[in-house]
Amino acid sequence: MAQHLELGRKGEALAKAYLEKHGFEILDENWTHGKCEVDLVAYKDRRIIFVEVKARSSNSFGEPEDFVDARKQKLLVEAADEYIYLMDHQGEVRFDIISILFNRNADYKLKHIEDAFWPSSI
């Protein structure tokens, strides 16, 4: 497996464990719709949270969360709309980013950014 894919999978596993530890229920992992994949779909306090996980081994070109650009946000919103429709969810939703920065020793820094963006802002 390519190193960046392995890093991504490791990051998603860490993000899932982090969310579960903090009381989130994981509804889906790697849920796809069209051209978009939602890394994690979580549920807490009657709210569905769509989580994009970004893991990097360096921040030389920016923080991991900086790579969730407007195009990616638009795709996530489209996927979320379909998910909400299929699940007939009538409550609130939120878009979060979990940023994971690994160092050379395989230690990491995890940052959970709640309400990372709003659909109307893209």
Return d(Cα 34, Cα 77) in angstroms, integer. 12
Number of domains in the chain: 1
Q: Structure pTM? A: 0.91
Q: What local confidence, expressed as pLDDT, does residue 122 receive?
A: 44
Tokens of 112: 């959970």
CATH number, domain of 27, equals 3.40.1350.10
Ranges in the chain, pLDDT < 70: 1-5, 120-122
Convert the pLDDT of each residue in 62-79 to its tens digit.
888 999 999 999 999 999
Q: What local confidence, expressed as pLDDT, does residue 58 receive?
A: 85
Range of the domain at 52: 3-121
**Residue 120 burial by Cβ neighbours in a 10 Å radius (0-12, 13-18, 19+):** exposed
Query: In Å, how far from its chain's centre is CA 73?
Result: 11
